[in-house]
Amino acid sequence: MGLRLGDTAPDFQAQTTKGDIQFHPWIGDSWAVLFSHPADFTPVCTTELGAVARLAPEFAKRNVKVIGLSTNDLKDHATWVDDINEVNQVDLQFPIIADVNRQVAALYDMLDSEKHDPTNVQNGIPFTVRSVFIIDPQKSVRLILTYPASCGRNFDEILRCIDSLQLSDRRPITTPADWQPGDDVIIHPGVSDTEASKLFPGYKTHKPYLRTTPLDE
């Protein structure tokens, strides 16, 4: 059975483009985004890594460490990073795991199904799929996304999810569909009307189970 939301993110040792790491100590007191790729020198992934490098200040602003994963070795990674920087006009600084034996991919259930794509099997092991894991400072898995090879990931959406998760950790709220920072939020159903009046004066009741409020942060 694969990972579920709320599970502790598996710890592991790995070689990366920024040196050897132990995953949990590397995360430390930060949030983390682990995102995987099937192989180096692939077109969609080249654009994705460039997008993440471009958004590095936004992740840092949210106390988020980013780490990529691909199944080539460090030598290939170094050459690929040069390509990524050239194509995207960026300076990629976050680490990329060299998961040559797909041990981390297996640990996080990031291997494709042979039934899904029989061509995506190498040496008897299915290719690594393109997954995203958001992990909080307690090392708990808070979000899991898996994308097909043909669809590039939207990392602005990843940032939006982080904003929502961090906000709901600070305040008893949830966020509605298409929420963006600054929009009204939903008061958590566990908050009574009496509490809501104290915490969110002037909140709006749409239905007994749906109350919204602006936030002052």
- Cα(192)–Cα(201) distance, integer angstroms: 13
Angle between helix axes 155-170 and 43-54 (nearest 10 degrees) is 50
**In the annotation, is 45 catalytic?**
yes
Which of 111, 139, 125 minimizes the C-alpha distance to 36?
A: 111
Q: Exactly one of 14, 34, 45, 129 is catalytic; which is it?
A: 45
Q: Are 1 and 132 in contact (CB under 8 A)?
A: no
Residue 104: how many CB atoms within 10 A of its CB? 21
Residue 152: how many CB atoms within 10 A of its CB? 15
- Cα(103)–Cα(118) distance, integer angstroms: 20
Which residues are CB-neighbours of 24 under 8 A, at least 6 positions away?
A: 9, 11, 139
Which of 111, 104, 90 minimizes the C-alpha distance to 15?
A: 104
- Cα(100)–Cα(144) distance, integer angstroms: 22
Residue 217's SS3 state is coil
Give the active site residues: 45
